[in-house]
Structure 1
Amino acid sequence: MTTLAATAGAASAFPGTFSIGSFRQQTVRVGLIGANGMGWSNLNSILKVPGVQCTALCDVDANVLNKRSEELKARGITPKLYAKHEDLLADGNVDAVIIGTPDHWHCLHLIDACAAGKDVYVEKPLGNSIVECNAMVAAAAKYGRVVQVGQWQRSQQHFRDAMDFVHSGKLGKIRLVKAWAYQGWMKSIPVKPDGPVPQGVDYDRWLGPAKQRPFNPNRFHFEFRWFWDYAGGLMTDWGVHMLDFALIGMKATTPKSIMATGGKFAYPDDAAETPDTLTTVYEFDDFTVQWEHANGIDGGPYGRNHGTAFIGNFGTLVVDRGGWEVIPEGDRMEAVPLQERQDNGLDMHTANFIDVVRSRKLDALHAPITAGAHIAIFSQMGNIAYRTGEKIYWDAQKGQFSSREANKLLAAEYHNGYKIPR
């Protein structure tokens, strides 16, 4: 079994090159699976790259599919429309696919795409369980496909500059790294009754491997991320972004232990299952990484609603999507004023993907599948610690935990005739 340790190399460092736009001559025909939300944002970004064409769209919601088709037609783009991803993957006019479906579908869609000979840009988190992530890494390697994970901050220069400063040693000994997401705009999910499946929605296909349940609007489209059947809440939604840089900055791989506490403290009676408040601590040999998240409030550490902070003996570096700065510890070092973001991370990221599709130089990917798997597994560990209520320990050689209860959560349960890829 591929383990967390085996995927760690690409997670702890950026690729050696940082260039885009070198390979413009080859037309790349792209299909989109999951045309709502970030899938649509990713497609619009990738179409800015010269020589990229959208030739196919797929969605289980005909309302979304038709809406996006009309929007593209208004721009002179007429893709083929598909209700089933298998049909899109059989289309010979598709070279690469974007996967923008809910988390519980990522694994099956990616493995099917790789087997069909397509390169893949897949939304984060890579997989919805540790077993899925390992299977996805194996599939990409088996079929020799280019896979970029949608952790687009890895393509932003200011994040790279911040990591260079952390690695310089100027902060002194770093004893604690904090990563967080305080999301004030994510409010309570009011309880709603089950109801009829909306017209035009293939609900059985939307469920896919998830447990069969009556249709409920709270579990559909964006809100799916607050239910364990389909996703992992803010820990996997934002944790994969912020914790990724915690590991890159510390050149860290496997934690010794993980413990977590939290719950539905803000909205105890709403419809969501995942915790609206969570603190997770990852133990390493001589430092700890701490994750915090909170729905409904923006008052995060250092006055930022998201970020990663490296706390050293001489000072603290704080970085988020807007920029980075260094706050000195007294007079032990000079402050570094805010270094603001200068680029569009998503556009840089999709352009990097297309460059590698053309060049086949996998080492140039900014977020290769091994990096996406590493941080998705790392975030899943935090959720597993929370769900078991235990301090858990990872055995990298065996690819499992020391806890029987934790090992029950290594794989997501598959239903409706779907099988977990091995």
Structure 2
Amino acid sequence: MDTKKAISRRKFMQFSGQAAAAMALPTLIDSKVLGQGAVAPSNRITIGCIGVGGHGTNVNLKSFLAKSDAQVVAVCDVDSTRMKNAERMVNSRYGSQDCMTTKDFRDILARKDIDAVMISTPDHWHTPISMMAAKAGKDICCEKPTLTIGEGRDLVNTIERYGRVFQTSTEDRSLSVYHRMAELVRNGRIGKLHTIHVELPHQPNGPGDPTPMPVPPELDYDMWLGPAPYAPYNKDRVHFNFRWIWDYSGGIITDWGTHLFDTAQWGNDTEHTGPIEIDAKGTFWDTGLYNTPKEYKIEYTYANGVKMFVKDGNPSIRFEGTEGWVGNRGWIGSLQASDPKIMTSVIGPGETHLVTCPGGEHRSFLDCVKSRDKPYFPVEIGHRVSTVCHLANISLLLGRKVKWDPDKEIFPDDEQAMRMTRRSSRAPWNV
């Protein structure tokens, strides 16, 4: 696709109307022929999946295909191999050939019959597609994180302006170990919280090969790059590996921090704010393609006096208070505590009960598309968690401690740090 073409709102909406009229609607079947408990397609929430790679297919697409009140009607990916695989899954699930395929997500946004989108692209595409989807009247379930602090705030403002449902797509708040952990801390079962310890995984071994390679025929590489600066194609740059390159992501800290930092903020009752001081140190590859942190240690300070210490290791979290501790070892590891009584403590009716959805983020999203309530991980809280990650990366890159005002979302009297809260976008994707 030629990304030099204009992308004005007028032209986009004009195209939307024409495309919606031209494209075939999904086959509608009366609920009587579907069996007891089934929902007719005409009563289902129609979904377009944008990005159907590993997680986009194996987790997000499969989850929506399993929901009786949702119907996936379109899939989009810049890699035709992945797109065709997703198309086969959708058509097999519904016993039809109706699934639309495209390499250009705007084709999905143009369809009036699509209620919502699931965005599972590389990080640098999350906000542009989400904002365009909101303007096109779609509700949005989007993978974490945002690419910068500034675009995260732009996303929040856009979602609120257009009144859309937005789910930050992570499973943590529906996992009993993290929900229970945060709820115990919030209700004082370890006394007054003073310290949080978090471990995130190590970055994968190897610096990546920067040698330019021919673009494979199945990949629309220019569209893959999108708003990111142009760089020659290399297999170590795209698909899963985008995580280790600044132009597209923030490394392990954003990839995994958005999971465990959310639990930390949840337990600390700071999910609508953030830390006030960040001191991060780390190491980087001397050569090669990958330029995000390889090893790291981070110290966060919150206005309530709580300290959070982060290092690379075994993905885990532990809350320490004046009367004990609670935490786990390993991703989704079992709950542990300084006293077994903490783990069996009952949260009473007059105490703080944190919102969760045992059915997961996709169930929460569909329920809220119907009710118009906010899902369990709404856009503002998702932005705040991503910000915690970005703050560490900014401190790492500057090689010094930084102070942060979470209310104004600024680095006070620090122009150098402020310049790192935004990045320029390659035309025409500066939405």
Q: Provide the rounded CA distance (Å) in 1 between the counterparts of 2:334 and 2:187.
A: 18
Map of 1:190-229 to 2, 5 A cutoff? 190-229=208-247
Aligned partner (choices 115, 118, 126) of residue 138 of structure 2: 118
Aligned partner (choices 395, 406, 416) of residue 427 of structure 2: 416
Unmatched 5+ stretches in structure 2: 1-38, 345-355
Q: Provide the rounded CA distance (Å) in 1 between the counterparts of 2:406 and 2:332.
A: 32
The Cα of 1:149 is off from its aligned counterpart by 0.6
Map of 1:319-398 to 2, 5 A cutoff? 319=328, 320-328=331-339, 334=341, 336=343, 347-362=359-374, 365-396=375-406, 398=408
8 Å CA contact retained: 1:210, 1:416: no
Counterpart of 1:263?
Answer: 283
Counterpart of 1:316?
Answer: 325
Note the alpha carbon deviations across 1:107-134, whole angstroms, 9 max, x for none.
1100010111111100011x10011101
Counterpart of 2:54?
Answer: 37
Map of 1:116-265 to 2, 5 A cutoff? 116-125=136-145, 127-183=146-202, 186-252=204-270, 253-264=273-284
What is the TM-score of this pair, normalised by structure 2?
0.81
Q: Provide the rounded CA distance (Å) in 2 between the counterparts of 1:275 and 1:58.
A: 31
Query: What amino acid does structure 2 have at the position aligned with 1:385?
Result: S
The Cα of 1:192 is off from its aligned counterpart by 4.8
Aligned partner (choices 83, 93, 114) of residue 103 of structure 2: 83
The Cα of 1:51 is off from its aligned counterpart by 2.0
Q: Provide the rounded CA distance (Å) in 1 between the counterparts of 2:358 and 2:244.
A: 24
Query: What amino acid does structure 2 have at the position aligned with 1:81?
Result: T
Q: Provide the rounded CA distance (Å) in 2 between the counterparts of 1:161 and 1:335.
A: 11
Residue 109 (str. 1) matches residue 118 (str. 2):
no
DSSP 3-state at the match of 2:132? helix
The Cα of 1:351 is off from its aligned counterpart by 0.8
Note the alpha carbon deviations across 1:273-293, whole angstroms, 9 max, x for none.
111111111112422112222
Over 3 Å counting, the alpha-carbon distance change for 1:235 and 1:345 in structure 2 is farther
8 Å CA contact retained: 2:156, 2:383: yes
Counterpart of 1:306?
Answer: 315
Q: Which of 1 and 2 has higher RCO (CA within 8 Å, sep 6+)?
A: 1
Q: Provide the rounded CA distance (Å) in 1 between the counterparts of 2:249 and 2:358.
A: 22
Q: Provide the rounded CA distance (Å) in 1 between the counterparts of 2:78 and 2:367.
A: 30
Higher fraction of strand: 1
Structural RMSD (CA):
2.3
What is the TM-score of this pair, normalised by structure 1?
0.83
Q: Percent identity?
A: 31
Counterpart of 1:10?
Answer: none
Poorly superposed stretches of 4+, deviation over 4 Å? 267-270, 333-337, 344-347
Greater Rg by CA: 2
Note the alpha carbon deviations across 1:156-202, whole angstroms, 9 max, x for none.
23322212211232312322101121248x33244252111110211
DSSP 3-state at the match of 1:74? helix
Over 3 Å counting, the alpha-carbon distance change for 1:135 and 1:249 in structure 2 is same
Q: How many aligned positions are there?
A: 372
